[in-house]
Amino acid sequence: MSKEISEGHVTTPAGFSAGAAAAHIKYPDRLNVAVVVSERDCTAAALFTQNQVAAAPVLVDKETLRANNRRIRVIAANAGNANACTGQPGLDNARATQQIAAQRLGCQPEQVLLLSTGVIGVQLPMDKLRAGIETAAAHLSPKNGLAAAQAIMTTDTYPKHLAARVELPGGLITIGGMAKGSGMIHPDMATMLAVLTTDAAVAPDVLDGALRAAVNASFNRISVDGDTSTNDTVLLLANGASGVEVADDEAMGLFGEAVTAVCAKLAQMIVKDGEGAAKFVEIQVTGAAGDADAHAIAVTIATSPLVKTAFAGSDANWGRILAAAGRAGVPFDPNQTALWIGAESVDELQLVRQGTPTSYQEADAARIFALPAFKIRLDLGAGDGRDLMWTTDLTHEYVSINADYRT
């Protein structure tokens, strides 16, 4: 695939623009309302949190897309208030937000999708939100993709955005993306939000298939703290402004690979910006009886507080890794396990062979665990199943951030 990933934005694809405003929702003097607008109707696909306590914008977006996944024009987003656990007033406010955005941007309410992130259990300050949307809508520009990425941040320390240009059989298309997420990150879907846009012409069913595959290989492979948000949402809009159709098998395959690549980069940015995180760790599980078994073990290791605190302390306490694997509910023979750690190469240093420690030097293992990014591979010696997770260490700073989040 001819693909070039750049420092672009959600407005890099043709026909998209954005605006942002500081509406003083929780965060003073900081961008916290954004609109992303297409100049033409978009097909749309979306995936949402699996948490049964779903926020009002999630419920309203699902309702909207059931009725209309071919004529979406606007995404209206806010940070600082999740509009979650807010009952009927929260649903009413979400629908009112659609109306406000539609009136200001010249479309219908059913053409507006919503994103919210922030404090749970507080009603949206609608006067502030209305003013923010009106200001953002008055400053629409293709150059405001960065501002939109900044406006959806909560505890993030930097905006997460990129773009990819892809050569399809019918010509060149662009995919843009932005995401937010730092804490409350865990499958199913990583609190995380993501918006992807493309100027390719893509049917809704093809768009949905590409997004599902991409999310499974990216946002469903990351964990910071083991918590799944009430608001997790990934949206993908296609406006066809390039004139290039994704219609045949080759184009679908190339398009799907590109969407996955964009999602994977954004997902890794979220992990690297995890609350209080100092280390980015890739956990690979191989040699399982099946991929599902490998996934269960990788998730258990990635979310183990003991493993993550060992990462934080640069302590190559590999016993915690095997202990976590052993409680994942997956049968395997401990005497067949092997474990490697490394930086560029996962096989740089073998710590365990056939369930027994090797003669490695503790200082060498500690040096790898002290790196800002490293990899772990656990092989179970039972089959061809494999999976991976991206995770972080668990530091004092994570506790401090979340102890003070509402104050």
Annotated catalytic residues are 191
Measured N-to-C along each axis, helices 249-272 and 204-216 cross at an angle, to the nearest 10 degrees, of 40
d(CA 22, CA 318): 47
CA quadruple 190, 29, 142, 61: dihedral sign: positive
By the 8 A CB rule, do 368 and 343 touch? yes
Task: Give the C-alpha distances (Å, rounded to integers) separating 223 from 185, 279, 282, 380.
Answer: 5, 13, 11, 22
d(CA 280, CA 222): 11
By the 8 A CB rule, do 294 and 285 touch? yes
d(CA 212, CA 210): 6
Task: Give the C-alpha distances (Å, rounded to integers) separating 124 from 88, 110, 113, 271, 315.
Answer: 12, 20, 16, 28, 44
SS3 107: coil
Q: Of the candidates 223, 178, 266, which has an alpha carbon nearest to the alpha carbon of residue 387?
A: 223
Number of H helices, E strands in the chain: 11, 16
Q: Of the candidates 186, 179, 187, 189, which has an alpha carbon nearest to the alpha carbon of residue 156?
A: 179
d(CA 114, CA 58): 8
Task: Give the C-alpha distances (Å, rounded to integers) separating 405 from 179, 274, 275, 402.
Answer: 20, 15, 11, 5
380 contacts: CB under 8 Å, gap ≥ 6? 285, 286, 287, 288, 289, 293, 294, 297, 325, 332, 333, 336, 337
